[in-house]
Chains A and B, each alone.
Chain A
């Protein structure tokens, strides 16, 4: 009887110790997991912090105040839009074709003032100087033939955009032909385009875009604020037009 109860007391004590041991182990495991999770959270937080510090804010000159663009509409319109673009960028062409006629008519109605700022984003990635040649030709037309013809030329460049894989199918002679089609006089622009005289302007325009924090195209600003409202380019185009209408 007494030896029996001793044995059961021993067994009970052993069970208690096991339970305590188990409890300690569980506690240790929870603390370890907690510690690891905290370290992970710190690394995630730190990485996000590094990303946010490296993030560039787009702070561009107001529409009409850049030396490297062409405007449509009146400066005192209630809304202003700035579009940074590369003549070789397919998304830019998509945005162009989706917004051009609407923005033109809204500008004509005095509702919006739009500035297009071409620069060279893609010559490095594609290994082609087409973005420089096209934007350079644009600057020459802007200089010699004025903004209206330059805007027309800009539109024609998008309508005749070559593919990124083979941009050099559009030659300097083709650029001259498009400029003439836009209304430039051949004698004004031919020699300068063929000599690549616009390259310096493009370098400066590209620097201006870079300094403004523009790192992709198309970059759209509505009333000075980066405009990215939409999932697809067509959404963005639709929302942009709706926002200024």
Chain B
């Protein structure tokens, strides 16, 4: 049973991590678009939006790498879950305010008319990835993770829970 869960955990890790790596990598080389995308949500003051626009893609990349490799898996999964919660709030908030923007999830961003029709799907996607992240955090041990190489398997407490 827990063996099967560990395999499901591997799939959840790789899918979620893969999405993060793509999302982060596409934005790292396009910082101006990334900042503009954050600003388009009209939630953060200008200077904060700039910091977030620069830092977020880097964090996305690292969380993605950590999940795919399975290193500090639990911590990465929890950060991943927090980010998805933030994105769901962000998209819901623009939706509620009637602002139509490209979510900027994978680069791009900024105002885009007709974008509201994509919001339900974007929220559903983020909710599914949030669930996958929480699952990884909950299951603790997943298959083929670097954690199991790095941390002694014989030691009693789950090493993934270390951070």
Tell me the A34-50 residues at the B interface (CB within 8 Å).
Answer: 36-37, 40, 43-45, 47-48, 50
Residues of B within 8 Å of A48, CB to CB, are 54-55, 58
Range, interface on chain A: 20 to 34
Q: Which of A36, A228, A229 contacts B150 (CB 8 A)?
A: A36
Main secondary structure of the interface of B (DSSP, over half): helix
* Contact of A215 with B59 in the complex, beta carbons under 8 Å: no
Asked if A54 is at the interface (CB within 8 A of a chain B CB), the reply is yes
A228 CA / B27 CA spacing, docked (Å): 21
Residues of B within 8 Å of A163, CB to CB, are 113
Most central of A45, A163, A228 by chain B CB within 10 Å: A228
* Contact of B24 with A165 in the complex, beta carbons under 8 Å: no
* Contact of A44 with B58 in the complex, beta carbons under 8 Å: yes
Q: If the complex has contacts A228-B39, A231-B45, are A54 and B30 also in contact, measured as CB distance less than 8 A?
A: yes
Closest beta carbon of chain A to B114's beta carbon, Å = 5
Q: Per-residue 0/1 for B50-64: is the Cβ within 8 Å of any A Cβ (1 yes, 0 no)?
A: 100011011101100
* Contact of B30 with A29 in the complex, beta carbons under 8 Å: no
Asked if B90 is at the interface (CB within 8 A of a chain A CB), the reply is no
* Contact of B58 with A29 in the complex, beta carbons under 8 Å: no
* Contact of A230 with B66 in the complex, beta carbons under 8 Å: no
Asked if B18 is at the interface (CB within 8 A of a chain A CB), the reply is no
Q: Which of B34, B45, B46 contacts A51 (CB 8 A)?
A: B34
Can you name 13 A-B residue pairings with CB atoms under 8 Å?
Answer: A29-B162, A33-B163, A36-B72, A44-B62, A47-B62, A51-B31, A51-B34, A54-B30, A55-B31, A55-B54, A164-B112, A215-B32, A216-B110
